[in-house]
Amino acid sequence: MKRYRNGEVWDFENQMPVAAGAGDVILGVDGGTTSTVCICMPILPFSDPLPDPVPVLARAVAGCTNHNSVGEAAARETLEQVMAEALAKSGSNRSAVRAVCLAVSGVNHPTDQQRILDWLRDVFPSNARLHVHNDAVAALACGTLGKLHGCVLIAGTGTIAYGFTEDGREARAAGAGPTLGDWGSGYGIAAQALTAVVRAHDGRGPHTMLMSSILGKLGLSSPDELIGWTYADPSWARIAALVPVVVYCAIAGDEVANKILFDSVEELRLSVKAVVQRLGLCGPEGKDSFPLVMVGGVLDENKRWDIGEEVIKCISKDYPGAVPIRPKVEPAVGAALVAWNFCMKESLENAFKS
């Protein structure tokens, strides 16, 4: 093991002995565009059912770890920091780590996975099992308790649909970032709302309540000031934070806001449909059952304009076998359960060989 850039984050290993009786642990990391969460959980007996709730020894939170957003060096430093903090809080250290599952946004290609795996091998003991995936995998797993089967729809700051079959095939749709059209995401909804305000102001679009509501929210006096506000810090999360204003205007009856939300529902439906069709999750007749995990702030329940519920209604018309799941555990726990399932499978295979 060696220390990457911010080696001081591991100094606690020299100062604090591992707690007496401490066993092996698993780290699960959910790295998003807005924040990153790492949980440390104990190795659970493979012969027993998963306990409810899943035991978590420690939890740590840090900032963005999407290398496309903050750069590779900064992303790795933050990942190392959040993993070290979770281990320190749990009274453990790297020598006790049996497996790590990193599920990070921006991991879109095998070369992304390989770079992170190569780095992780320098951070953790050689006997630790290391897994690197897109953050959508953790989101799926938090609904299926670590089993990689079904489809997950994430709609938060960004959006992606990701699916797995039981034989290991996978597919994705969307998730290419705002420049390439992350429509249906929080960023996409808010960006369309800002565009609608500018269009209404200069006469290219219809009047909309979004103008006064967004200006009031931002403390601006004129739509002309939106240009400066937007480009002063065009971070994805900052723009996406305007989604509640769009929902508020839609509930109040604003036609422009309602169209933006309905268009977003359709985009999210199309993302799920693309994944389900490519993987055949619905079966040859289109009626087979499969889990549909719904994750992200855009999909959170809202009694008066529930984007998630509208998406479910649309998808259920296409695929009556879809089983919507709103997870009871967070994606970082899902990531840890992915690693636990791989450990269990490996243990069973070894037992069978012997």
Give the SS3 label for residue 101. Answer: strand
The listed range with the strongest mean pLDDT (130-139, 271-280, 337-346) is 271-280
CATH number of 24-148+329-346: 3.30.420.40
Q: Are 40 and 89 in contact (CB under 8 A)?
A: yes
| Cβ 281 vs Cβ 140: under 8 Å | no
Q: How many CB atoms lie within 10 A of CB 48?
A: 7
Are 199 and 210 in contact, with CB atoms under 8 Å apart?
no
Overall average pLDDT of the 86-93 stretch:
93
Q: What is the pLDDT of residue 19?
A: 57
Cα–Cα distance for residue pair 298/277, rounded to 1 Å? 24
pTM (two decimals): 0.82
The mean of the pLDDT values for the chain is 91
Question: What pLDDT is recorded for position 17?
Answer: 65
Contacts of 144 (CB under 8 A, 6+ apart): 150, 291, 293, 325, 334
> Tokens for 31?
């790295």
Taking 50 as the threshold, does the pLDDT of residue 5 lie above it?
no
Q: Which of 15, 131, 6 is nearest to 81 (CA)?
A: 6
Contact predicate 117/132, CB 8 Å: yes
pLDDT tens for 107-151 read 888 898 999 999 999 999 999 999 999 888 999 999 999 999 999
Confidence band of 290 (pLDDT split at 50, 70, 90): very high
Strands in 158-225 per DSSP E: 159-164, 170-174
